Amino acid sequence: MIEIANVNKAFHGAPAVTDLSLTVAEGEFAVLVGTSGSGKSTMLKMLNRLLEPDSGDIRVAGRDIRAQPPELLRRHIGYAIQSVGLFPHWTVEQNIAAVPQLLKWPRQRIQARVDELLALLQLPADFRRRYPHQLSGGQQQRVALARSLVKRPKLLLLDEPLGALDKKLRQQTQLELVNTIEAVGVTCIMVTHDQEEAMTMSSRIGIMSEGKLLQVGTPTEIYEYPSCRFTAEFIGETNMFEGAVVVDEPDRVEINSQELGGVIHIDHGITGPKGMHVWASVRPEDVRLDKQPLQPGANRAAGTVRDIAYLGSYSVYHVKLAGGKIVKAVVPSSRWCDANETAPTWDETVYLSWRADSPVVLTQ
């Protein structure tokens, strides 16, 4: 449905999008996630020709988007941006029907389409006469979505569509929005700066940083096999240990890390020579925390508890190693439930360890 090939865009010589390629299948819901200024909005705007790329190609449904005038292209594209952007002095119906009215649809057709969309978005039919200020934030967001769907677009572009909502409402609305878009069956690209939102909503995520698309994959692929440090740290939390490869065999790698004060052992090979400078990423939930000293060996370290964030079903321990590095460990609240010992507390010495299949080795 969408083929973006080697697209570049700079503003006054400063690159905003660099060599970006991505394909999105018909009916797919793809999310681009990245920090502010990473080029997400610029990429979306190039898809509906609010901006023109400096180089590269964009095809929608097999056709170069430059093959038709922008107004024609935009007829098939729904676009909704962060500020809900409803006209405050217009009713819900007038807001949804703004574009059909411009296009001089017959009155009955407009009415029927508004009815359909209100039903689809689970808004009561009599909401059509309300004004935006008489709706909750989530309802306003649904009206804005109805407005972008009114022309039955083939492609829906959403730029931080939930950005105006507070955290709680945002979470409620995320799944609702996915379900609606799936029900409509429209191909959708959404951008957001919120990693959790991207993980929750999409079957395929693209990670953007400084104008580049760093990695594309399912939420699980990206979480378990990040391709670089940025992705590993941006999606979820991780402990990153810098070091050098000291043993490099097909099924076994060892990394000497000063930050850890020891050796990281990985039970699979990596592509890279001995001596190579690498980072090993270990997720906090893979770090085991014990109160008793462990046998000496790889993948372990002792430290003192500096902070404990109690989060109900689990706690996150911040443990300071001898060299000063803070390592995070997720400890399930059930861990010290029925044992005779109590959970470790501030300033206590604890022993950290993880399995040899936990670390992901990153070279950039």
Ligand X SMILES: Nc1ncnc2c1ncn2[C@@H]1O[C@H](COP(=O)(O)OP(=O)(O)O)[C@@H](O)[C@H]1O
**195 near ligand X, judged by CB under 6 A:** no
Return the ∠ at Cα 282 (arms to 313 and 329), rounded to 5°: 35
**148 near ligand X, judged by CB under 6 A:** no
Among 1, 7, 38, 46, binds ligand X (CB under 6 A): 38
**206 near ligand X, judged by CB under 6 A:** no
Q: Point out which span in 36-44, 64-72, 127-135, 197-205 binds ligand X (CB under 6 A).
A: 36-44
Residue 42 contacts which entry, ligand X, Mg ion, none (Cβ below 5-8 A, type-dependent): ligand X
Query: Do 326 and 306 meet the contact criterion of CB atoms below 8 Å apart?
Result: yes
CA distance 247 to 265: 9
**16 near ligand X, judged by CB under 6 A:** yes
Residue 153 contacts which entry, ligand X, Mg ion, none (Cβ below 5-8 A, type-dependent): none
Positive or negative: CA dihedral 357, 359, 363, 364: positive
C-beta nearest to Mg ion: residue: 41
Residue 16 contacts which entry, Mg ion, ligand X, none (Cβ below 5-8 A, type-dependent): ligand X
Return the ∠ at Cα 178 (arms to 175 and 184), rounded to 5°: 140
Structure tokens at 347: 């300033």
Q: How far is the CB of 213 from ligand X (least distance, A)?
A: 12
Give the closest residue to 287 by CA, choosing from 260, 312, 313: 260
Query: Do 50 and 40 meet the contact criterion of CB atoms below 8 Å apart?
Result: no
Nearer Cβ to Mg ion, position 41 or 231? Answer: 41
Q: How far is the CB of 48 from Mg ion (least distance, A)?
A: 14
Q: For binding to Mg ion (CB under 5 A), which residues are involved?
A: 41
Q: How far is the CB of 38 from ligand X (least distance, A)?
A: 4
**Look-up of token digits 């040899």:** 356
CA distance 260 to 278: 13
Q: How far is the CB of 80 from ligand X (least distance, A)?
A: 14
Among 18, 37, 59, 130, binds ligand X (CB under 6 A): 37
Query: Do 350 and 289 meet the contact criterion of CB atoms below 8 Å apart?
Result: yes
Of residues 236-265, those binding ligand X (CB under 6 A): none
Residue 39 contacts which entry, ligand X, Mg ion, none (Cβ below 5-8 A, type-dependent): ligand X
Residue 313 contacts which entry, Mg ion, ligand X, none (Cβ below 5-8 A, type-dependent): none
Residue 215 to residues 201, 222, 226, 351, Cα–Cα distance (Å):
17, 8, 8, 34
Report the phi/psi class of residue 150: left, alpha or beta, with left for phi > 0 and alpha for psi in -120 to 50.
alpha
Nearer Cβ to ligand X, position 41 or 139? Answer: 41
Among 34, 236, 243, 284, binds ligand X (CB under 6 A): 34
Amino acid in position 161: P
Q: What is the CA radius of gyration of the chain?
A: 25
Give the closest residue to 79 by CA, choosing from 103, 112, 46, 53: 46
Q: Would you give the binding string for ligand X spanning residues 41-80, x where CB under 6 A is met?
A: xx--------------------------------------
Positive or negative: CA dihedral 80, 81, 83, 87: negative
Structure tokens at 155: 């492609």
CA distance 47 to 33: 16
Q: Point out which span in 34-42, 96-104, 308-316, 328-336 binds ligand X (CB under 6 A).
A: 34-42
**158 near ligand X, judged by CB under 6 A:** no
Q: Point out which span in 40-48, 80-88, 126-134, 263-271 binds ligand X (CB under 6 A).
A: 40-48
Q: How far is the CB of 28 from Mg ion (least distance, A)?
A: 21
Nearer Cβ to ligand X, position 11 or 310? Answer: 11
Nearer Cβ to ligand X, position 17 or 253? Answer: 17
**Interface residue list for ligand X (CB under 6 A):** 11, 16, 34, 36-42
